[in-house]
Amino acid sequence: MQRVGARPQKQSLFSLFEIPMSIPEAALQRAAVLREQLAEHNYRYYVLDEPSIPDAEYDRLFAELQQLEADYPELIGPDSPTQRVGGAPLSVFDEVQHTVPMLSLGNVFSEGELRDFDRRVREGLGHEQIRYCVEPKLDGLAISLRYEQGVLVRAATRGDGHSGEDVTANVRTITSLPLRLRGAHPAVLEVRGEVFMPRDGFEALNQRQREQGNKTFANPRNAAAGSLRQLDPRITATRPLRIYCYGVGVVEGAELPDSHYRILQSLRDWGLPVSPEIRVVEGVENCLAYYETIGQGRDSLPYDIDGVVYKVDSIPQQQELGFVSRAPRWAIAHKFPAQEELTVIEAVEWQVGRTGALTPVARLRPVAVGGVTVSNATLHNLDELRRKDVHIGDTAIVRRAGDVIPEVVGVLAERRPPDAPMPKLPTHCPICDADVLRAEGESVARCSGGLYCPAQRKEALKHFASRKAMDIDGLGDKLVEQLVEADLLHDPADIFSLDTQQVAGLERMGEKSAQNLIQAIERSKATTLPRFLFAMGIREVGEATAANLAQHFGSLEAIEAASEEALLAVDDVGPIVAKHIHGFFAQPHNREVIERLRAEGVKWPEVARPSAEQQPLLGQTFVLTGTLAMSRDEAKQALQALGAKVAGSVSKKTTVVVAGEAAGSKLTKAEQLGVEIWDEARLRQLLDEYS
């Protein structure tokens, strides 16, 4: 989670450190207390990972300080937490010389190479066994942070190791980084670490970029680099960057401990974020064990790592070993198998899902990614395929992280062979040959074969039998596939005419399990209307909508007979869902299947519908907008309990718009359409009337 960043504020014209006497003593003191509390909470949240107050309370303290500083701008100092985003956009970054060069690390990729490294270290020092500090290798960018008298004065990228770029204004926006160090610290302290973007923040950023029509980032590392190199710090402030510190450069005015691990502990004590995964171990065997453990936990970390780093822990030993060219002899990176690789897209094929949606799948020249051989990768949908500009024959970046389905991240257009064709959306379903249709404005294309398409049939039957639908114990995905392939199942009604002999004849099925299945099928016949509706697999009708439909109409016959208009009166049913439901029941084939299911004995009890008395608001549609004192959910539930429908947008059919504070476009629209507008008090009055 990322704390909300502060908004830019005008800098005071006064000197930042001299506080004029015009400020009341009480304000001065309160501002100091607030800053201290905010710094403490940030430290607990980001460094100790033990927050002691809810986010809302933090935000309240933050807002209070902002208000004080707005009232008395002279209170504003460079290390005030409200001053993270400031200054005008730059036209270019200044150059920064690194007094102590920022080195890189040697790499090893195998156990053997690591043992060689350890042997060189042992021989160099003349010791039997070495104590190592072991750390995750974060996949971001190296940064140098200079604190003078405890205040962050400069942040610079690594650049070529000797000089980098001044990115202070951007780094200041990283909320987890303290602008002032805690406790007794060196007069000058240059800290080194890695700036990175956690994966969830990366996904959210890409989603936002897509929505705004901006270019997306290929991976969290690129996103972190792109964000740090923004000339406008206000943009960087919107990016979820984090930092972990892993070393020091220039230090003046204090002696640091003679162990690397203890130096990192000091950094933590000064309020700097340090990875919680760092350990000290004895000997190379334990380095390997650490590599294994971190490697196994890699996918559950919230950020990307590309290996581990082993560092000789003793600083005197580090000094004794020294450097070779641009890397230390006392540290090495042990890389994991890459999660991204390059390979060639040999073909693009189309898979058909339950709703008939066609998903493009890239057939790849097999390649090892993240330790397994990958030969297929999803391309999600047609829009994604076009956006990534995929051509057949392209060299593609394929990513496989953890258990996630491998995906094509992007292609290298510069390596495209001449005449490489673009994959075409088939005009006919590759499984059943029915027409492929794509609704205007939709990114998904669908096979129109419905349950006649074996691919859709399989998926529809799996859904029908699943736990939250008809709950047929033992009728899992594999068995459904077998039954469809054996031509025993065409539609859901066929399930109920299966007999033990037919099932027992299937591969890996015995008499006993066949009997059990037939019994489970028999049992499932006594169901409920919401389950049955959900099992039908009508598009966009999930469990909740199925339950609302059942509640509203009381019987299947009433739903079958309902017009789109009538369906719209149901909670959570908008025009699109209403169309899907109506369209489903309009299909003679679907009605036929339902008839057969009932003939086979599928049944459910009537749904008791609340009386008109209990539902005085039946037929009325409310829209809630703006901030309400009671929660939106609370208001929604109270209205629904009285029979009203609560919709998300205002139309001519809206009965009442309840406008809370800071209501925006929905209120305007209600005014334009002449819809009745209430304030919260009026709503309360109504709810009280019926309570």
- Which residues are near ligand IVH by CB under 6 A? 103-105, 135, 137-138, 142, 158, 194, 246-247, 309, 328, 331, 333
Three-state SS for 251?
strand
Shortest reach from residue 190's CB to ligand IVH, in Å: 13
Ordered strands of the 242-252 beta sheet = 151-157, 141-148, 188-196, 242-252
Shortest reach from residue 410's CB to ligand IVH, in Å: 23
Residue 117 vs 604, nearer CB to ligand IVH: 117
Shortest reach from residue 275's CB to ligand IVH, in Å: 7
Alpha helices by DSSP H, listed for 536-673, are 543-553, 556-561, 564-567, 575-586, 588-599, 632-641, 665-673
Residue 104 vs 286, nearer CB to ligand IVH: 104
Shortest reach from residue 161's CB to ligand IVH, in Å: 8
Q: Are strands 131-138 and 436-438 parallel, antiparallel or unpaired?
A: unpaired
Shortest reach from residue 36's CB to ligand IVH, in Å: 31
Would you state the structure tokens that stand for residue 167, as one six-digit string?
A: 């990115």
DSSP lists the bridge partners of residue 193 as 143, 245
What residue has token string 């594999």?
478
Please classify residue 351 by burial: count the beta carbons closer than 10 Å to its beta carbon, then call 0-12 exposed, 13-18 middle and 19+ buried: middle
Sign for the pseudo-dihedral over CA of 413, 416, 421, 423: negative
Alpha-carbon gap, residue 550 to 553, rounded angstroms: 6
Three-state SS for 373?
strand
Active site residues: 137
**Alpha carbons within 13 A on the beta-carbon side of 166:** 12
Shortest reach from residue 103's CB to ligand IVH, in Å: 4
Would you state the structure tokens that stand for residue 497, as one six-digit string?
A: 């005419």
Distances in whole angstroms, Cα of residue 673 to Cα of each of 403, 663, 676: 50, 16, 9
Shortest reach from residue 217's CB to ligand IVH, in Å: 18
Please classify residue 29 by burial: count the beta carbons closer than 10 Å to its beta carbon, then call 0-12 exposed, 13-18 middle and 19+ buried: exposed
**Contact criterion met (CB below 8 Å) for 429 and 353:** no
Would you state the structure tokens that stand for residue 98, as one six-digit string?
A: 């690194």
Distances in whole angstroms, Cα of residue 179 to Cα of each of 16, 43, 148, 261, 343: 15, 11, 11, 23, 44
Distances in whole angstroms, Cα of residue 418 to Cα of each of 8, 177, 344, 414, 456: 50, 49, 14, 10, 37
**Alpha carbons within 13 A on the beta-carbon side of 146:** 18
Residue 27 vs 105, nearer CB to ligand IVH: 105
Alpha-carbon gap, residue 615 to 344, rounded angstroms: 62
Non-local (6+) Cβ contacts of 184 within 8 A are none
Non-local (6+) Cβ contacts of 174 within 8 A are 195, 241, 242, 243
Shortest reach from residue 273's CB to ligand IVH, in Å: 13
- Where is 409: in which H helix or E strand? strand 407-411
Shortest reach from residue 150's CB to ligand IVH, in Å: 24
Residue 314 vs 620, nearer CB to ligand IVH: 314
Find the residue with minimal CB distance to ligand IVH. 142
Non-local (6+) Cβ contacts of 95 within 8 A are 159, 163, 164, 165, 166
